Structure 1
Amino acid sequence: MKFTGFQTLVDQMFTFDEAGALLERHDATKPSALSPLVLAYIGDAYFHLFIRVRLLSFEQSNVQVMSRLGAEMVSAVWQSRAYQGIEPMLTEGEKAVFRRGRNAKSHAPRSATVGEYHRSTGFEALLGVLCLEGKRERAEALSEAAFQVIVREMRKKRKGENATC
């Protein structure tokens, strides 16, 4: 996006009243009314922060290592695997939110298959709904379970790679 396009976007999104106070367009956020991609946007941010904070339990001095590992763990590939691991823990309502996110129209990056990308979008939408509904304990429990799945799967993959060398 060019700078002039960015300026136009800012001008359209943020307006002020006569007294100079920032005007909000929406009084409340109703998760069920939001697009699944908006929910995934919020869930993605939540999971990124969760992973970064969680990695502090294992590393506290090498930011490069934490950044690389964190970025890998929140990738579509690993989020997809995490979802498959935590699916049995979900309620029917949570599975419905996941399906809504999974079925949203979006384009998969080259680093993941279409299925992995759609599953990760569903996973993020689920976390987004939980976060916006104030169900932080549930979001944290599912994120921790997803973290455990990712770590186990990463370890299995690493052991499998070492066996072929």
Structure 2
Amino acid sequence: MTNVNQLNGLILAYLGDAEIEEKVRYYLVMNKHCSVNELYMLAKSYVSAKAQTAFFNLMSKEEILTDEEFSAFKLGRNAKSHTHAKNTAISIYRISTGFEALFGYLKVTGQDDRIQELMDFCFKNIDNVEIIE
């Protein structure tokens, strides 16, 4: 097992992105009865940089992240990336990278129950977050 402290924020974000995508797809399949195309479009909107930023902002407002989790977020947010999503402000892209790094950190450290808690928080609030345009 690699020491989590040896992984940079972008590596954690890479792993977290996959974890979030899997949880969102499972949630949608179990809770939304629609076509595969509609599932794809919903998943795409829920894992967008703007949606992830909105979820992170709500988590911050509700103060549900531990200091350790916030540090993992900052590893991703502060990582130097040479790319960013089209039509998305760099500030939003960095927050979403931090959000993904948080989930990557939780996965690497074996905190699957915490991943599910945070994803459940997102799903519970999915209709209440303000997506930044």
TM-score (structure 1 length as normaliser): 0.72
Give the secondary-structure state (helix, strand or coil) at the position aligned to 2:30: coil
CA drift of 1:141 comes to 0.6
- Greater relative contact order: 1 or 2 (C-alpha under 8 angstroms, separation 6 or more)? 2
CA drift of 1:111 comes to 2.7
Aligned to 2:88: 112
Structure 1 unaligned regions, length at least 5:
1-27, 158-165
CA drift of 1:90 comes to 0.5
Aligned to 1:130: 106
Does 1:97 pair with 2:65?
no
CA drift of 1:56 comes to 1.9
Contact 1:97 1:126 in 2 (8 A): yes
Aligned to 1:66: 39
| Cα root mean square deviation, aligned | 1.8
Pairing of 1:27-66 with structure 2 (within 5 A):
28-66=1-39
Structure 2 unaligned regions, length at least 5:
none
Contact 2:8 2:75 in 1 (8 A): no
Q: Describe the shift of the 1:113–1:149 C-alpha distance in structure 2 as closer, same or farther (beyond 3 A).
A: farther
CA drift of 1:61 comes to 4.4
Aligned length: 129
Contact 1:81 1:149 in 2 (8 A): no
User: Runs of 4 or more off by more than 3 Å in structure 1?
Assistant: none
